[in-house]
Amino acid sequence: MKRLTIALGLSLLATAASAEDLRIGTSADYPPWESVDGSGNIVGFDKDVGDEICKRIATACAWQNQAYDGLLPGLQVGKFDLVISGISINDERSQKVDFSAAYADAPNSIAVGAGNRAADAKSSSDLKNSLAKAAIGVQTGTTHEQVLRANFPDADIRVYDRPDQVADDLIAGRIDAGLMERSAWEPLVKDRGSDKLIYAGPLLTSADFPEFGKGQGVAMGKGRTELKEKIDGAVQAMLQDGTIKTISEKWFGYDVSKK
């Protein structure tokens, strides 16, 4: 009986400990932000940032891979405690979930196929004019989709589950252009060829289209004040001591930390 009591006690302790773990949702299909390596492990910039946050707030974390458009709905129903997946902070999302202080602020790009006149665009206004009625691909549920719907009202907007699908349909001629973060384009351009995927216009930020938001932050459920304070403190410390800069240079080759 004593053994059973001890075993039950240990089981309860294990359950209590696991109940305190933070469940982090991410969509591991967006390198170098996050992806799955050859061993099936989630890796990337966000994974390293999230692991460092968990270390600094002294909390064990368990990562869960989820399609991007299900991340914030999953957070709202309690499937996750946090979402760390290059989520841009904007007013629409902030009505549904809370965000930490921004830890990154990544630029965005439109890419087109060879021969598309939008490749000569010099400004966001030029892009709007040259792609006004184009077929433009974008990953579903992203701020990029919001940018297109708000600023390219006559375009044929095609939504995809993954960034590589946008690139492949662009190369195949099924769409005229695609919009995503520059860091997501870079490995695709390298792999598919810079003669097939061509950057059009300048790097794009919230100064061009406010729908891009206020940088990337950690999303959490509404009203988790204590958790938010801890994560904000960790993020601010990581920005101040250069940790996020170091992590971003590891994965991107340049600094995307929030200034």
Is the alpha carbon torsion for 90, 73, 183, 157 positive or negative?
A: negative
> What distance in Å separates the CA atoms of residue 190 and residue 13, rounded to the nearest whole number?
49
> What distance in Å separates the CA atoms of residue 18 and residue 13, rounded to the nearest whole number?
9
> What distance in Å separates the CA atoms of residue 90 and residue 130, rounded to the nearest whole number?
27
Q: Which domains does the chain have, with CATH numbers?
A: 2-105+215-251 (3.40.190.10), 108-212 (3.40.190.10)
Query: Rounded to an integer, what is the distance from CA 248 to the centroid of its chain?
Result: 13
> What distance in Å separates the CA atoms of residue 119 and residue 123, rounded to the nearest whole number?
11
What is the signed CA dihedral for 18, 68, 181, 217, rounded to 10 degrees? -40
Quote the pTM value: 0.73
pLDDT tens, residue order, the chain (259 aa): 333 333 334 333 333 334 468 999 999 998 899 999 999 999 999 999 999 999 999 999 999 999 999 999 999 999 999 999 999 998 889 999 999 999 998 889 999 998 999 999 999 999 999 999 999 999 998 999 999 999 999 999 999 999 999 999 999 999 999 999 998 899 999 999 999 999 999 999 888 999 998 999 999 999 999 999 999 999 999 999 999 999 999 999 888 998 8
